[in-house]
Each structure stands twice: as structure tokens, then as C-alpha cells.
Amino acid sequence: MSWWRARKASGEGWQRTEAVAGALKDWAKDEAMPVFILHQCTKEEPEWRPPTQNSARGAGFTESDVVIGMWQPWRNPDLGRYEREMIRNEVHFNVIKNRVTGRLTTTPIQMILRDDLRFVDMSLPGGAEYDRPN
């Protein structure tokens, strides 16, 4: 067993992650500024479905004020080849936890990921036509 796996199995890695995330959150509160931290879902979560408040449970430290989910609907194996190709560049977001305002999103925020790695909001004029395959 590698040293990293041994640390994960003993819980040392989880404890270190919790300590770093807690320190970052305390620092952000002291500075009165927002901080964004990426977090993974559990491995059982399908990557083509919208994440929920339970999606991050068991995947590490989740203490936060706002949680935004992200998924790629084109990865759904039930879609046909043409359907998947039409939405290949789409990335959807939702707000699944918000201690600041209490508002969550029930409909996804649809974005297209461009070749230059910028997101285009599909709700903006012209956004839905951008980068679609012909």
C-alpha cells in the first residue's frame, strides 16, 4: 500500500483536508470576502444528473455557505448519438446550498464551454446559437 493510501485509510488525509478548509473559511470570515473551493461528488453520483445537497456527502469536507453543482448532460448514456453531439459543449450549473440568501435554483443555469475555455450563458441573446454543431 502506498504512503498516500495508508494516510487516506487512517483518516489522516481527511483530517488534514478538514483543518485546511476550516482555516480557509475562518480567514475568509475575518477578511469578509468570498472564497470558492472546488469539491467533488461521491463516485456513485451520475455525472449527467444535477447534483443535490446529498451529492457531496462522503466525498470529503463540505462545510460552506454556498454550494454550486455542475454537470454535463451530454454524458447521459440514454441519449442518442445525435442528441449527445448537439449538447456536447453544454455545462449546467445549479445552486444546491445557499446560507447567504436561502435561495436555491430549481432549473439549471445552462452554459456552453467554448474552445478558449470561456463559458457563454445560453440565456443571453445569441448564447443558444453559439458553438452549436451544424
Residues 92-113: tens digit of each pLDDT: 888 887 777 877 777 778 888 8
Chain-centre distance for alpha carbon 92: 9
The mean-pLDDT minimum among 15-19, 46-50, 72-76, 86-90 falls in 15-19
More confident residue, 39 or 6: 39
Residue 63 has pLDDT above 70, yes or no: no
Please state the rounded mean pLDDT for residues 47-66.
Answer: 71
User: Rounded to an integer, what distance in angstroms lies between the CA atom of residue 54 and that of residue 35?
Assistant: 21
Question: What is the identity of the amino acid at 92?
Answer: H
Global pTM value: 0.62
Q: Is the pLDDT of residue 45 over 50?
A: yes
Residue with cell 449546467: 92
- Helix, strand, coil tally for the chain in percent (to 5): 30, 15, 55
pLDDT, position 28: 82
Residue located via cell numbers 500500500 = 1
Asked whether the CA dihedral 120, 126, 91, 114 is positive or negative, the reply is negative
Residue whose cell numbers read 454537470: 71
> pLDDT tens digits, residue range 22-31?
888 888 888 8
pLDDT number for residue 46: 83
